[in-house]
Structure 1
Amino acid sequence: MNYRAGVLHLQNKDISEYTRVIREAGNTDVDIVVLPSLDSVESSDKYDEIVDVISKTAKQASVYVAIHMYEKARCHLGYEVIRSNLVFDRKGDIISVYRKPQNGKANCTASPSELVTFTSDFGVTFGVMMEEDLALSNVEQLKGVKNFILTGDWQSEVPLLSAAKFAPSWSYTNDVNLVSTYGIYSGKAGLKTGSGSLVVADLQKDCENEVAAVPLVIAPENFLAEDLSLYVMKQLDLQASANGYTETICHRSFCCEFYVKTAKDVKTESTYNLATFNGVRPFGANHNVATQICVLSGSQNNVNFEIISITANFTKQSSQYPIVQSTAVLPTEAFNFEVKNNGVTEQVTLELENGKNIMNFGIFGKNANVDLEKDYVVEKNSTDKVESDFVEYFFNEDVQEFVDYLWIRLRVLIVVVSIYFLEMM
């Protein structure tokens, strides 16, 4: 069974453009369209107005609409800004709401931690996600769902984990359809291309594809490279690699085996590094991610890699993703990503033949099931830790209840004192 999805690629985020695209989606038989985040200030100040406009337009166009918005909500003694993913059905009714506090601490209006889903009238169950969920979720949390919508901006401190770069690998590894504001990905079949501000693609409900593609990110000129200062790394000897070059690089007992063979006419001014990382990376203000990474990383000079092969044994409880970033399209038939369970660990191999202009090529492993404080050394600035502990304490439910209790008592006291002074006058 097929359904038609659309995503909006638009730099000028304006509600009038959103309504135009929704109508265009309805005219092209799109079943569901995913819109990017509106400006946080505008959407929070005009939340009800924007919801009403989207609802009416979705009904007029008879199309499902998913949008990320910001709203202000009462939380204990004040207000907090909430990040919300809203899904409207063909009648304009809101059928799914997924919320998170923007500060990541208060929990007055947050959705439950389990995956938020809804089932459409065309028989497809969708999971609703925000960008950071790609890196923070694990396979068990997906509940066997094969179709996801992704919207909700998130600034990642780890370039490899930004949604624009990680979405192709996440869809490929989990073999699921991912309809995101960065593109439409269909599991092993990869990115569905299109033109114009509204990109449309037909997807198989069960993500069954006869063809496979490289989960590639085409890197722009202003590409933000991974910070390798935290890695154990060694510069690739391009002269030696013309005859085939083997290197093993380890970091905290985690080892990556590299084999690289380049064409004979390789440019000597090109620079590539082989790097390994095993530890905890900060992910936003409130999360740490246990990671194991093997990567070949370098400049975008015209280097022809005849063979790149990377193999490593990852923690058994982890999930592994291929990272492929280049300034050129890579051959699908010469790409291989294989995971073997050898009992204690997961042996993962990533291979590519005849690849050009490689920026990053490697394996990213994350473990969402470990106790970071117990299994890893999490280095924190002492001031940041004190501030973090205070915020966590202040937003603790018991503390909030106590503050509310004191406030009620104080108001009663104010009333009593006011009455007393009025009687004395």
Structure 2
Amino acid sequence: MSKFWTKFRLLVLFVIFSDSDQASTPDSLTYVAGVVEFNPPIFKYRNETSAPEYRNIIFSKEAEDVDIMVFPEMTLNTVLTTTFVPDPKLKIVPCDNADYEEFLSSMSCTARDSRKYLVINVIEKATCTNTTQESIGDPRPCSSNGLNSYNTNVVFDRNGAVISRYRKWNLFGELGRNTTYKPEYGVFDTDFGVRFGHFICFDILFYTPAQEIVSSGVTDFVFPTMWFSELPFLTAVQVQSAWAYTNDVNLLAAGANNAAVGSTGTGIYAGKQGTIVATMTANPLRKLFVATVPKKGSNLAITPSIEENDIGSQDLFLKRDHIESYNTSIVDTSSEIVRETLCHEDLCCDFIAVIKNQTVSGNSSSYTYRLTVYDGNRSYSGAAEGSLKICSIMACTNATLASCGRVFTRDVQVENTFIFQDILIEGKFRNSGMLFVMPNSLDFTYMPVKNSEYYLNKQEYINHTYAQISLTQPRANLLTFGIYVNVLNKTESGDTASSAKLSLLALLASSIFVLFINGNLIR
């Protein structure tokens, strides 16, 4: 045997054994996940993408042992670099394939060369003809240019093959994006014995498709997002951790990073065990967060990493819920024990809070608090309607309702005049659809209360659901604490969703929107 073939064989064996050492297997009780918080670059040219920056992260030393890596929504390409994505059934490897845009080919090669599962989010283009519409039973007409555009997750296996594709179903004001006529369900299997479901951003607030995948028995999820955080109930990590807790699933969430539009929030969550790692930051950030994730059913305890937070309220744009329609009552801090029942529409909530006053410096400011109850509908910036039931305590910067859901600026020294020694909130929620009962909390660092510091109890009956949440450790830095119930309903077809690509004017508006939220400048 020649020296060349001897060296080649040794190299192959080295690669095989190296991969088997670092990659988790079906017998492993854990797997290694990586999620990326990513601030997109300023694009100078029309055909530019973030693929080079993605590759640098994937081949970084921190990523060496990662089995599966997730990148956020809408940070890779723009409407000027849309790409075709192969049907996962075909197991196509786009690497060095001229049928696909160079950046998609590059990501396929990167998955193969790094031997990792990669999940990316792209703006996809797809051919639309009368024949293709008829074949899938879609009565909607095609656009005049014969192309549809989707917000799409793409999953590569360790060989660089596309093994899953999901086109976003619940769009959030995404002009120029289309939906499929019926919802797709993104699910894929891995060689380390874990089946994943995946969905995108706004999907997390709806039954279809995310909750349907949970109902099918999938216990691990991938979640690319560009979240626009909203006080007091819907900031990014607040929602991610609550969703994972209520479903008791592993959730790998990768967040886009753009403080100007309130986008940040990345984390890895182990269901009711709690957060393994998470970040909320107002600083431009491109960082990989790595964690060892216990497989569901392994009964292994998590090893939480240090949560990373660097937020000044004037640096991060935060939306605010329209809480003026909620029924609220100021917490009376002159009494050591607060007891009150508060109602709105068909919902009544019971509140008990034990308060201990504390001494603060004379030049500091303190939050006031309101008991809050709501039973009704809400609009999500006009993109969709939802139905909510809420029993909560929320912070306000002064005694007015208008100050609730707002925070003090960074230059203000904040010291609350009292500590919540204990909080108990109970609600009896009428069953009007599927009730998704979540714990909902937030502190001054824009992180939720740790799972070990509260207890949520839920009991379901024929006509109503009873829920109770209690604080188990004293807290002086709460912004929100309570029960948040999302009423979920299944949707089956895209009769009201756009199919054909919009007019040139709408496409231009879409381009401006995408470029703005990505912070990109293209010349």
TM-score (norm 2): 0.64
> Relative to 1, partners in 2 of residues 1:264 and 1:318: Cα closer, same or farther, differing over 3 Å?
same
Partner of 1:355, secondary structure, is: coil
Q: Does 1:17 align with 2:53?
A: yes
Q: 1:205 offset after TM fit, Å? A: 2.0
Q: 1:77 offset after TM fit, Å? A: 1.6
- Give the conservation status (yes or no) of the 8 Å contact 2:294–2:301: no
Q: Does 1:35 align with 2:71?
A: yes
**Aligned mates of 1:343, 1:46 — CA distance in 2:** 49
Task: Name the aligned partner's letter for residue 127 of structure 1.
Answer: G
- Give the conservation status (yes or no) of the 8 Å contact 1:233–1:274: yes
**Aligned mates of 2:310, 2:342 — CA distance in 1:** 26
Q: 1:197 offset after TM fit, Å? A: 1.7
> Relative to 1, partners in 2 of residues 1:257 and 1:213: Cα closer, same or farther, differing over 3 Å?
farther
Q: Does 1:153 align with 2:226?
A: yes
> Relative to 1, partners in 2 of residues 1:178 and 1:333: Cα closer, same or farther, differing over 3 Å?
closer
Partner of 2:73, secondary structure, is: coil
1:79-118 deviation digits (Å, cap 9, x = unpaired): 4431010001111111111013766799976284253201
Q: 1:161 offset after TM fit, Å? A: 3.5
Q: Does 1:206 align with 2:242?
A: no
Q: 1:368 offset after TM fit, Å? A: 1.2
- Give the conservation status (yes or no) of the 8 Å contact 2:148–2:499: no
TM-score (norm 1): 0.78
1:287 corresponding residue in structure 2: 384
Q: List gaps (5 residues or longer) in structure 2.
A: 1-28, 42-49, 84-100, 128-141, 255-265, 280-285, 397-413, 501-523
1:97 corresponding residue in structure 2: 165
1:45 corresponding residue in structure 2: 81
1:314-361 deviation digits (Å, cap 9, x = unpaired): 233311000110026856544111101244211100110311200011
> Relative to 1, partners in 2 of residues 1:29 and 1:141: Cα closer, same or farther, differing over 3 Å?
closer
Q: Does 1:338 align with 2:457?
A: yes
Q: Does 1:83 align with 2:167?
A: no
- Give the conservation status (yes or no) of the 8 Å contact 1:219–1:359: no
Q: List gaps (5 residues or longer) in structure 1.
A: 372-390, 398-425
Partner of 2:123, secondary structure, is: strand
- Give the conservation status (yes or no) of the 8 Å contact 2:374–2:388: yes
Q: 1:45 offset after TM fit, Å? A: 1.5
Partner of 1:21, secondary structure, is: helix
1:307 corresponding residue in structure 2: 422
**Aligned mates of 1:290, 1:213 — CA distance in 2:** 36
Where does 1:103-114 land on structure 2 (aligned, <5 Å)? 110=180, 112-114=182-184
- Give the conservation status (yes or no) of the 8 Å contact 1:165–1:217: no
Tell me how many residue pairs correspond in the alignment. 375
Where does 1:1-400 land on structure 2 (aligned, <5 Å)? 1-13=29-41, 14-24=50-60, 28-39=64-75, 42=78, 44-45=80-81, 47=83, 48-74=101-127, 75-78=142-145, 79-100=147-168, 110=180, 112-137=182-207, 139-142=211-214, 143-155=216-228, 160-181=233-254, 182-193=266-277, 197-206=287-296, 208-209=298-299, 220-222=311-313, 224=318, 225-240=320-335, 243-265=336-358, 269-299=366-396, 301-302=415-416, 303-316=418-431, 317-327=434-444, 330=449, 333-352=452-471, 353-369=473-489
> Relative to 1, partners in 2 of residues 1:219 and 1:226: Cα closer, same or farther, differing over 3 Å?
farther
Higher strand share: 1
1:381 corresponding residue in structure 2: none
**Aligned mates of 1:153, 1:288 — CA distance in 2:** 19
- Give the conservation status (yes or no) of the 8 Å contact 1:212–1:332: no
Q: 1:295 offset after TM fit, Å? A: 1.4
1:39-96 deviation digits (Å, cap 9, x = unpaired): 4763651531210111111111000000111133454324443101000111111111
> Relative to 1, partners in 2 of residues 1:121 and 1:41: Cα closer, same or farther, differing over 3 Å?
closer
Quote the sequence identity (%).
27
**Aligned mates of 1:368, 1:66 — CA distance in 2:** 27
- Give the conservation status (yes or no) of the 8 Å contact 1:318–1:367: yes
**Aligned mates of 2:324, 2:299 — CA distance in 1:** 40
Task: Name the aligned partner's letter for residue 343 of structure 2.
Answer: C
- Give the conservation status (yes or no) of the 8 Å contact 2:294–2:300: no
**Aligned mates of 1:269, 1:31 — CA distance in 2:** 45
**Aligned mates of 1:54, 1:393 — CA distance in 2:** 34
> Relative to 1, partners in 2 of residues 1:266 and 1:331: Cα closer, same or farther, differing over 3 Å?
farther
- Give the conservation status (yes or no) of the 8 Å contact 2:251–2:269: yes
- Give the conservation status (yes or no) of the 8 Å contact 1:276–1:294: yes
Task: Name the aligned partner's letter for residue 326 of structure 2.
Answer: Y
- Give the conservation status (yes or no) of the 8 Å contact 2:278–2:308: no
> Relative to 1, partners in 2 of residues 1:198 and 1:294: Cα closer, same or farther, differing over 3 Å?
same
Q: 1:261 offset after TM fit, Å? A: 1.3
Higher helix share: 1
**Aligned mates of 1:311, 1:213 — CA distance in 2:** 31
> Relative to 1, partners in 2 of residues 1:133 and 1:104: Cα closer, same or farther, differing over 3 Å?
same
**Aligned mates of 1:394, 1:140 — CA distance in 2:** 20
- Give the conservation status (yes or no) of the 8 Å contact 2:206–2:489: no
Q: 1:9 offset after TM fit, Å? A: 2.1
Partner of 1:53, secondary structure, is: helix
> Relative to 1, partners in 2 of residues 1:38 and 1:333: Cα closer, same or farther, differing over 3 Å?
closer
